[in-house]
Structure 1
């Protein structure tokens, strides 16, 4: 049993001092451009860009949202006043919504006026000794959405808000915990991630993705990351909240609705409309790939408890949802914060997400492979010369088909790093080629860009086969129509087959395939690619990975099977491709020429109902598959 809360204060003060000097020192260091953590932590350079928070400017505001429940708001404010604020100045802002003006008897109006006055009198007389108290009494009824969205506009990147609805009761331990959490995960550069938008103090109870996994955690997990916002005691970080408010303004002004198919919350929005705000924030989170910190204190305990009093969300009082964690029930060190690298991340389906897997060399590739399922074939997807929205569209189809065993290969870019931040495993093609000593080919000029993917694919295939992984190699200009791509891959005699026009290759991790794909073959790929790139006249189709491999295998008398592209694939842009042709069960994919422009690609895929991203290149649906 951890001792009374007075024992927390020295520990917190020591921690704050240590982390202040740590943050100050690390904020002066330039971010690494090649750092990679073999445990796949969020140490990618995209996470430290413009990272300059200052603990000396830290400020904290409690925002209480109230309406017409005097007993509720009095319980809530008293619980907040019982907390230990460590000598910090903490301001309290209370927002009291006005009752609705409806036709009714003068007696009813008088009752509502009296109720509002009683609440105002209580709040006015409430003693808040930790900082300033501000009371905002609205002149009209604005509802829960406006109460939340208009409660806060951060004055700096060091101002944090704790949003509390009036039927909540808060643990006296909450501020000590949340201050320690902010110091660890916002001011400590080694633990910082721009993917985190805040922290929820409520007990996690809900999975919004339809048909998602049950919310289950082991007893050792105290903190974890989860995409869902928590409305029963949510701490908001300043930068993501500002970003959300601007995003909301833009979308609301353009009459764009926060529809996200496959989510229970979308059904709520279609029923309740602008009375609620969470579907807007959830759509924003999904579009940005952001996460929330949650606690798992066991025995249904939490630092914030909703009494679920009768009101907007409940027709009648349902009672407390959890047990309030306090000194008497505390049986662990609540201030112990594990590194961000050790925490688990979960999406809206409560599927585990592994962020920031960025491979830059062969050793790191070997470390990444165990994070993939060995029982399923791995898809190596080439994103060189593929636009970001086309790549996102492909990944949305992967989610729909429950294809989760893949690696993305692309050029070093913010777009590639952003995919890694969201949980997609990626290979930084530029750094990878440099690591295997092939940057001497950069003298080829613009054609070097065209052969990077050829060289990288050859090395990745060899590594995957050596580690026992079967592999599909595809370009980003294809969309699969089924998760069971080619039945031929199940034939034990089919160790290698190619589809040149589709730029598709399948290799089984067999003894035969491993002998074919040795160091000698990889060297021949590099040599042939270089020779071809030096030719004065060369078509785009000639300088392709599958074309190079086919030539080498034929020159060395290696037998392999070629797929009939017209049987398995449909090329968009041709007159015989339409919605009805998608019903052909023999057709496994659609593809298009690498020279086709983005507008044409999108137009064709929209006509086939295969363009499943919105104007921000985010998936239009969340598709859950039970693990």
Structure 2
């Protein structure tokens, strides 16, 4: 019998409309969730409130044949205060026991077996009340590098690993501090940075960059950031560790070694090879520009202490490196960590790094310029139409020449913000030009060629430099500074303006004449002329022509230079691979092609 559906009754219409509306809304939400980027999803759990989602804390203990060391280490871990972890049993103990070597004959098989069984018996009977205890007893002697690298693959963004070698002893307060670090610098969006890969509990005591600064900190500095990884009690964040493991696999498969010139750790690797893992991680950190959280307690105290027992790193026992911090000597206010913006950052040379300096208006520019100028000179580098590997190579030259008075200017891009994250001051020219008004240009500047925006942005910076009493040099992306001294030696009082070959560089010396010319009226003239520029033209050409029309002479910095030119240039149409080849022939290619990072760490001692 057929069923015939007639029109719905009136009293059902509101219900049907409600159901349709709910269905549409559910589909919209589902579509929105499935189209969000991984970056957005990964930051959902970061918030500004005090609520922290439950996270898993894994204690990874690496041991081999040192029972006394292991027992001291485990007992110190078990004696720590885990009360802030709650009752969820979220602190798990994983013990990795390396097997004795079957190839070595320095110890009898019976002694090796006896030692291994004593360790296993102790670990099996060791009570861990704060979560699960997992023991992995290997079938081979894999060594220290494999023990570290194979100890952890994060199962989620809410899982953390605290890795300790067996000759380590921790403070009873170590977990309270690390829990505070995770809460403040991982889950709090206002103090989170993707540049941070973890936290070390050991006393800072080593600068790996050759000829680097002495490791000196103000007594008031309790927490700071330092690039160096700490192997004596290191907390690892999940995402950077995954990134490192994949990077390691890629480099290892291609036969690329972790050679980083200018580093003491490279000497370690050349001597010990694959017995150690830290040179690999250091090379990775250098290529990514990442940092580690460190503590600074007075009187050589620390939250973790290495007894430096005889093993891979020490031929004979050296004894504790620091004094262990206990509850009686601990200031509870220390757990109230400062905002990330208040902390100081240091590189492998222990030079201070200032990240996230992004200029978006004239007021910010006026504040930044005095902090970066050197000898009242500013180097302004344009990122317009720049190729990333050429900019990375330029930065390596800046580091080699100890040139730290540079600023990058360019449109919003991953390159611009990555440079800022790594400590280079940048000007976001899109927002900067909007905020300065751009002299009657349309608010949306997407229709203008890059040369127009480049000319206007750099012209405003030069004007501000002149107002503050600074000279300035504008570099396009088609120029490379190779001799800072030779460049500055060409500046004299008889000229106010300087240019390089093909107008790849323009220098403006601070003088009353230059300041008198470089006014709002001159900027309006640039703004009026720049729209006629073609996208392929160089903005410095236009500015140079306008200066000549004003009767100003421009000195060529490339003539009469028997000692060599301070700059290297290439044409607008030059292929990047050809440029790289030619720079390599001139020994001016300073980056590692695999990572687009500098081949060397070059330390220049800070004055004072």
* TM, length-normalised to structure 1: 0.86
Output the CA distance in 2 between the equivalents of 1:444 and 1:352.
36
Structure 1 spans left out of the alignment, 5+ residues: 1-29, 31-45, 569-583
Give how far 1:103 is off: 5.3
Q: Do 2:451 and 2:535's aligned partners in 1 also have CA atoms closer than 8 Å?
A: no
Q: Which residue of 1 aligns with 2:475?
A: 474
Q: Identify which range, 204-213 or 423-432, moves more after superposition.
A: 423-432
Q: Which residue of 1 aligns with 2:6?
A: none
1:197-219 superposed Cα distances (whole Å, 9 cap, x missing partner): 00000000000011110111000
Q: Do 1:441 and 1:448's aligned partners in 2 also have CA atoms closer than 8 Å?
A: no
Output the CA distance in 2 between the equivalents of 1:592 and 1:295.
47
| Counterpart mapping for 1:401-412 below 5 A | 401-412=401-412
| Counterpart mapping for 1:344-359 below 5 A | 344-359=344-359
Aligned partner of residue 315 in structure 2, secondary structure: coil
Output the CA distance in 2 between the equivalents of 1:335 and 1:444.
48
Q: Which residue of 2 aligns with 1:429?
A: 429
Q: Which residue of 2 aligns with 1:19?
A: none
> For residues 487 and 247 of structure 1, do their structure 2 counterparts lie closer, same or farther at Cα, with a shift above 3 Å needed?
closer
Q: Which residue of 2 aligns with 1:201?
A: 201
Output the CA distance in 2 between the equivalents of 1:441 and 1:560.
33
Q: Which residue of 2 aligns with 1:610?
A: 588
Give how far 1:484 is off: 0.6
Output the CA distance in 1 between the equivalents of 2:310 and 2:224.
31
Q: Which residue of 2 aligns with 1:506?
A: 507
> For residues 170 and 444 of structure 1, do their structure 2 counterparts lie closer, same or farther at Cα, with a shift above 3 Å needed?
closer
Q: Which residue of 2 aligns with 1:523?
A: 524
Give how far 1:448 is off: 2.2
1:287-321 superposed Cα distances (whole Å, 9 cap, x missing partner): 11100000001110100000001111111111100
Output the CA distance in 1 between the equivalents of 2:423 and 2:105.
55
Length, aligned pairs only: 559
Output the CA distance in 1 between the equivalents of 2:278 and 2:344.
23
Output the CA distance in 2 between the equivalents of 1:49 and 1:411.
26
Q: Identify which range, 190-199 or 512-521, moves more after superposition.
A: 512-521
Q: Which residue of 2 aligns with 1:563?
A: 556
Q: Do 1:497 and 1:561's aligned partners in 2 also have CA atoms closer than 8 Å?
A: yes
Q: Do 2:198 and 2:236's aligned partners in 1 also have CA atoms closer than 8 Å?
A: yes
Aligned partner of residue 229 in structure 2, secondary structure: coil
Q: Which residue of 1 aligns with 2:545?
A: 551
Q: Which residue of 2 aligns with 1:485?
A: 486
| Counterpart mapping for 1:321-360 below 5 A | 321-331=321-331, 333-360=333-360
Aligned partner of residue 433 in structure 1, secondary structure: helix
Aligned partner of residue 305 in structure 2, secondary structure: strand
Give how far 1:548 is off: 1.6
Aligned partner of residue 153 in structure 1, secondary structure: coil
Q: Which residue of 2 aligns with 1:51?
A: 43
Q: Identify which range, 318-327 or 364-373, moves more after superposition.
A: 364-373
Output the CA distance in 2 between the equivalents of 1:139 and 1:50.
38
1:225-244 superposed Cα distances (whole Å, 9 cap, x missing partner): 00000000000000100111
Output the CA distance in 2 between the equivalents of 1:493 and 1:194.
49
Give how far 1:505 is off: 1.5
Larger radius of gyration: 2
> For residues 174 and 487 of structure 1, do their structure 2 counterparts lie closer, same or farther at Cα, with a shift above 3 Å needed?
closer
Q: Which residue of 2 aligns with 1:151?
A: 151
Q: Which residue of 2 aligns with 1:625?
A: 604
Output the CA distance in 1 between the equivalents of 2:557 and 2:210.
39
Structure 2 spans left out of the alignment, 5+ residues: 1-31, 33-37, 47-51
Q: Which residue of 2 aligns with 1:93?
A: 94
Q: CA RMSD in A?
A: 2.1
Give how far 1:508 is off: 2.2
* TM, length-normalised to structure 2: 0.88
| Counterpart mapping for 1:22-33 below 5 A | none
Q: Do 2:487 and 2:557's aligned partners in 1 also have CA atoms closer than 8 Å?
A: no
Aligned partner of residue 83 in structure 1, secondary structure: coil
Aligned partner of residue 506 in structure 2, secondary structure: strand
Give how far 1:447 is off: 4.9
Q: Do 1:502 and 1:591's aligned partners in 2 also have CA atoms closer than 8 Å?
A: no
Aligned partner of residue 381 in structure 2, secondary structure: strand
Output the CA distance in 2 between the equivalents of 1:316 and 1:388.
48
Q: Do 1:420 and 1:426's aligned partners in 2 also have CA atoms closer than 8 Å?
A: yes
Aligned partner of residue 515 in structure 2, secondary structure: helix
1:109 aligns with 2:90: no
Give how far 1:565 is off: 3.5
1:439-471 superposed Cα distances (whole Å, 9 cap, x missing partner): 835889765223110110110100111112221
1:140 aligns with 2:140: yes
Indicate the structure whose relative CO is greater, using CA pairs within 8 Å and at least 6 residues apart: 1
Give how far 1:502 is off: 3.7
Q: Which residue of 2 aligns with 1:301?
A: 301
Q: Which residue of 1 aligns with 2:70?
A: 73
Aligned with residue 64 of structure 1, among 61, 66, 71? 61
Aligned partner of residue 466 in structure 2, secondary structure: helix
Q: Identify which range, 408-417 or 220-229, moves more after superposition.
A: 408-417
